[in-house]
Every structure is written in C-alpha cells, then in structure tokens.
Amino acid sequence: MSSGWWFLAAMIVAYGVANLLQSIAASRTTMHHTLDPGLLVRLLGHRIYLYGIGCQVLGFFLALIARRDLPLFLVQASVAAGLGVTAVLGVVVLKWQLPKSEMLLLAALVLGIGGLVMAAEPAPSRPLGLVGKISLVLALLIIAGAGFFAVRVKGAPGSVVLGALSGLGFACAAVAARPLASSHSVFEFVSSPLLYLVIAHSLSAQLLLGLAMQRGSTNAAVAAMDAAGAVPAAVVGLLLLGDRIRPGLTWLAALGFLVTLGSVIALTRYAEPQARTSEEHDTPIAEPSDVVSHRHPTPHTRPVRPVVNGHTPLMDLPTREYPALSESSGR
C-alpha cells in the first residue's frame, strides 16, 4: 500500500481541524467589506487562528506529499472530507445540532471519497510547461480581480461566492503543487517558480476564505470552496499531469466524484449567518430576536446556547463550559 494513502488520511483530519479553528477566529474579528489583506493580520492576532493556520500548514505539506503519487481528482476531493471532520468535531466538542439531512450529506461525502480511493491509481506527475505556468499567473490575477468585486456581496451569497473563489485559488495551488512534489532535490524545489505560485495562490485563497467565513456558516464557505476547486484541478490533472484511473473503474471514479461534489454543493444550503462579537470587547453584536445569548443570563436561569435557524453559531461559545476554546486577542 502506497504511503500516500496515509498522508491523505492525515491531511483530511488536519484540514478539518483547521476549518473549525479558523472559522471561530473569523467570527470574532471585525467584519471587512473590502479585499483588505489587513484581515489576515487581524486574524493572526487570535491564538485560535494561529492554531488553525498551523493545522492548515500541516495539511498543506501532507497534501503535497500525497500529490507526489496520488491523482489530483482524489486529493482535491479528499480535501472536502475535511468538512465532515469539521462537522463531527462541532457536534462532539461544540455541541452543534446538525439536521438529519446534513448528516446524510456528510455520509454521502464519505461514500464518494471511498469510491475515489478505490478508483485512483498512484502515478508520478508529468512536468508543467511554460504555458501552464503563465496560465497560473493569469489565474491569480483573475481571481484577485473577481474577489475585489465579490467582497461587496453581503450575507450568505457573499460567503458562497468568496468561498468559491477561494476554492479556485486553492485548485491552482494544487495544480502547481502536483509537479512540484516530484522535485528531485531541495535546490530544484526552492528554485522552481511553481513553489512561489503555490504560495501566492494559497495566500490569496486564504484571504478569500477568511472573508467568506465572516459572512455565513463555516459549512457553506468550505463547501463552496471545495466544490469550486475540485473540478478544475481534476480536469487539469487528468489532461495535463498524467493522473490515472484504474482500468475498468472509470465509472466508479466518475460516480465517486459526482457524489462528493454533489454533497458539498448541497451543503451550501445551510448558509445561515453566524452571530458575531465585538473584536475589542468580545460582546455580542445585535442579532435578530431568535438569537438567545448565554453571556448575560439572569440569576435564576441557566446559560442557553444561541441558535440561528436551527444552527448553533460558531463564535458565541460558552467559554466556561469550553475553557480550552476561550481566548483573547493577542494585540
């Protein structure tokens, strides 16, 4: 069994934890309505976001190693499985209440990934030519330009649009990372322009994801990111980078990919805005009347978990119940 499978499994867990931690920090940070890189600086002032970035960096390197042998249609679709890990952690640790329909979609996500694992055939990547590298540079400019306008879209639609642009950015990073992972020496690795394209696309996508998480639910932002990023990466991998499917299992690869993609797209319907707090004082900002806050209970009442349209917002955590997740801004 190729070691790439173990790296793939560890990557799924790392990305799932990263999604959860970053969404908490994004919800605690002042809303940004422009494509301002300063958002990343403000987010880095939160310890929870730093932990999330650490998990994401770990996931990135695990994915890089996995892409050395495994096709992009498998690795990129498996990133979506991190959404399932995020949901499970939310239920177990943060006591989220997921509707049965969402749980069924998460189960379908697991089945889809299982089909892709069975159909994928490990193989090294082909090199990416000059035209491919120039295309990645142009894609970076186009995504950044689209993000400049998309950041003006508010609420759940803004979360989905920005999440989708983030997914395209991460897809471009994955395309550059697949041949980069086949470097034969450290010098070849650090001198390759693909490395710097990976970094540029990843930073741009990370900024867009942070903006998306401020506008809607974590599942909506991450699902839109995964859905938008999986198809381009899979197509490029199969057409240009030498990705392979086991003989006779093309139908299973197609079915697994469609089930995975359909599951993450369907998850975007759970796009309720999250409750937010003031960054300076960590006090709730006014929300609709159906949000019940636990932060200032009366002497004779127990703290109540806030619920928005059947979902528990990420950021409004009862810190006395979950002291490990309690944190303050590092500034």
Per-residue pLDDT tens over the stretch 12-24 = 899 888 878 876 7
pLDDT of residue 328: 38
The verdict on residue 36 lying in a domain is yes
Better-predicted residue by pLDDT, 112 or 296: 112
Q: Report if residue 299 sits inside a domain.
A: no
278: in domain: no
Domain presence at residue 191: yes
pLDDT tens digit sequence for 148-179: 888 888 777 888 889 899 999 999 999 999 99
Residue 308 belongs to a domain: no
User: Does the structure show a pLDDT above 70 at 260?
Assistant: yes
Q: Quick: pLDDT tens for 199-240.
A: 999 999 988 987 887 776 666 777 788 778 888 888 899 989
Please list the alpha-helical segments (H only) found in the chain.
4-27, 38-43, 47-66, 72-93, 100-119, 130-150, 155-180, 186-191, 193-215, 218-240, 250-266
Supply the mean pLDDT for the chain. Answer: 75
Report if residue 293 sits inside a domain. Answer: no
Which residue range forms the structural domain that includes residue 241? 4-269
In a domain, 305, yes or no: no
What is the pLDDT at residue 100? 80
Q: Which of 108-112, 276-280, 325-329 is predicted with the least confidence, judged by mean pLDDT?
A: 325-329
Domain count, the chain: 1
294 is a domain residue: no
First to last CA, the chain: 47
Cα dist from 33 to 152, 242, 251, 280, whole Å: 6, 41, 44, 18
Of residues 119 and 92, more confidence is placed in 119
